[in-house]
Structures are given as structure tokens and as C-alpha cells.
Amino acid sequence: MKKIILLLLIFSLILSLFSCTTTPETTPLSGETDTSEPEYTDESETGYLLVHIDKILYKLYPEEAVMVPLCPDPLCKHNTNSCPFFQVDVNVRFIGEKMYYLRRGDAIGFYSSICSFDFEKGEMEVLYEPKKNTVADLYATEGYLFFKLMILEADKDSTYKMMRYDIKTKEVLELTDEYQLGRPTILTIEGDRIYWHESGYFYSTDLEYKNRIDGDRGYAAAFVSGHKKYENINTGKFAASGPTMLLRGVNDVTGETTKVIDEMATFPILYNGSIIYVKPNEKTLIGYQKSESGYFNRLYDKTGGKFYICNSDGSKDIELCDLKGNNVAISVSAGILNGKYGVGDYVAYSVWRYKTVREEDGKNIVERISDGYVVINIKTGEYKIVGVD
């Protein structure tokens, strides 16, 4: 698959079933609703995106605009810990036929273990489970898993250690002393260098956390195209959706920087030589929600609902599609796992969904339903909205 990130490749079909506990139905909605049954084609040809909704992992087929749970057990409801893919962190990693991921335990808001799932055997394995602390920010290479250990102590601020797990030997190694400030995060690993970001600073080290180079910046693969790398920069301006960003390109050969997009309301998608993004347009009214006291509160899509597309240098900037009238609000984040945003001519972007429950005094009364994704054909601008009902 000729896409931005190869780490998300999953082999064609999951052959084994495993024990866990009616598959939720998926209902495509649309600017032009298609009620026909989708014709599934071979995954190796069509491909899919891995998405995360309500703590459950799904395979989203953009061309058909349908989602199916990653868990292949047809009897599983995917909403209890008996399902290997329930309460999984969005930051999953693939190496061959194994998926590595963080899984949440009993503690609210924290991930208590690092797991792997072998799709060939249909088996999950808990690789590392700290007794009292929690894990975060998993990154995988061919031989190692790198992650952050959050040290939790009563009446103290959380501190962090950077850790390494050897996939072959299962050895766990502490790479750093405790961090007192900041939340160090791996941006990328290239060759034998790890590129970190911490408290606004960039640096790199080798795989042993030695030979540190301050100011040595790395770029996540989702923001690299040819010799150009991209940076989201805070503009210092505010729109209805919040702080806005500009997109800057950096030539990794000459070091030349150029402004690509002046102002964005959301994080952009870089896909197949194009940039898909949302401008800070005037907010649009979705409907009304009635408060307990009987007042009607206006509900807006604060970004305005329009997607735009341009070339990788910012040229030929045009409106791609407008979601107004679909009872959705665009999320600030793209929401696709591991930076893989598209398949074929399609990209997907996360949205908050609402449904009309009634009309009252000429007002569209809506309520929130499960999150979903808008799937957009970047050549035609046609789109569909898909979610789990």
C-alpha cells in the first residue's frame, strides 16, 4: 500500500477467532445518503483505516463508508474487558502480524499494561504491567517498544521515566531518571536515533538514551512529503473554534522555510501530495439542546463545516466540501490512528455527531450520539458520514 505510514499494515484477513462476548450495526449517513448494501472487495486491494470510537477499535473502509470492529468475534459486544480491543489507547503499533498497544485497567484515565495481539494465532499477550504506575505514549521499532512510565505518588506531581522493552528478550530497561517537569514524547525513530519533544524543546538520542543532541528536531512520518517537512505553528490568533495555526514547510536539503497555509482551525491531513484542512470560517448552527431549566442552548459547528484542499506548496487552494446541514461538528484533530489518513482517493476525518429528536417552536432539537467520521473523495469532493448506531 502506497501510503504515508507503513506501520499500520494489517494482513488481508484475520483467520482466527478468539473468545470475547452482537456486533454493533454500522449506518452510513450522507450528504447524499446511500442506502444500498456495500460490496466488499479484497482488503489487499481496497484497504482500510483503523479508527477509534467509544473506546473500541474499528476498521473503516472509506470507499464503502462502513465500519466493522477490529475484533472478529461475531458474538462479542466489544464493551467489556473480555474483548482484547476494549479500552485500548489510540496509539497502536503494528509489526508484521502483531499489534502492540496500551490497554486500560481499573484505574480511570490510565493505561495499566502493554499488550500484543497476534492476528495469525488470534492470541493476546500482556507484555508489561507495572504494579502501581501507569504507561503511556507507546512507540515501536522492529526490535523494541519505547514507552513512558508515569510515576504516581500520593500528594505529589506525576513524574516520568522513558522505558524500553526488548521484543525478543522481554527485558525492560529504564532509559532515564525521573523527569520532574514536562511530558517527553517520541516524535519518530529514524535509524539509530530517537527524536523527542519535551516542554517545547526538541532533541535526539541513540537507542540507549546516550549521545543526546539538543535542538535536533525530528518529524512524524505523517508530516513528511519528499524533501519537505511540515510544522503546525500557533498564530496567536483566536477563532470560534479556539487558537488557530499556520502550516510551515521546511526543506530538509536546503533548510529553507516557507509558509504553506496562513491559518487553519484544525490539524491538517497530508495525503498523496495534497493537504486537506479546515479554515476558521464563521461558525454554523447545528441545532438546539434544551437545558434542565427549560432554556434552549444553541449548538454550533465552531469551524464552519467546510474542508479545503491545496497542493503541498499551498497552491490551487479550493473548497473541497461543506458539511453544513448534516448534524455534525468537525473535530479539531484528524482522529485516524498512527497518522494514516487515507486509502485510494479517500480520506477520513473525525466528527461529532448529533441527531434531530424533534422540532419545537421552529427549532431543530438535537442530542449527541456516538462520534463518527466523514469520508471524503479528494478528487470529487463527494462525502459520506459513517458512525456506529
Q: What is the pLDDT of residue 18?
A: 30
Q: What is the pLDDT of residue 185?
A: 80
Angle, CA of 37, 42 and 47, to the nearest 5°: 90
Angle, CA of 211, 214 and 220, to the nearest 5°: 95
Q: What is the pLDDT of residue 181?
A: 55
* 292-337 pLDDT, tens digit each: 787 889 999 999 999 999 999 999 999 999 999 999 999 877 767 7
* 25-68 pLDDT, tens digit each: 332 333 333 333 333 233 333 488 888 887 788 889 998 888 88
Q: How many CA atoms lie within 13 A of 47 on its CB side?
A: 15
d(CA 333, CA 272): 19
Number of Cβ within 10 Å of residue 300's Cβ equals 16
Q: What is the pLDDT of residue 95?
A: 84
Q: What is the pLDDT of residue 149?
A: 86
d(CA 374, CA 350): 6
Q: What is the pLDDT of residue 182?
A: 61
d(CA 104, CA 111): 4
Q: How many CA atoms lie within 13 A of 275 on its CB side?
A: 30
Which residue ranges of the chain lie beneath pLDDT 70? Answer: 1-46, 105-109, 178-183, 335, 338-339
Under 8 Å between Cβ of 9 and 96: no
Q: What is the pLDDT of residue 255?
A: 85
Give residues with Cβ within 8 angstroms of 357, minimum separation 6: 365, 366, 367
Q: What is the pLDDT of residue 356?
A: 93
User: DSSP string of 99-114?
Assistant: EEEEEE-SSTT-EEEE
Task: Phi first, then psi: give them for residue 147, nearest 5 degrees.
Answer: -155, 170
d(CA 93, CA 73): 21
d(CA 198, CA 137): 13
Q: What is the pLDDT of residue 35?
A: 31
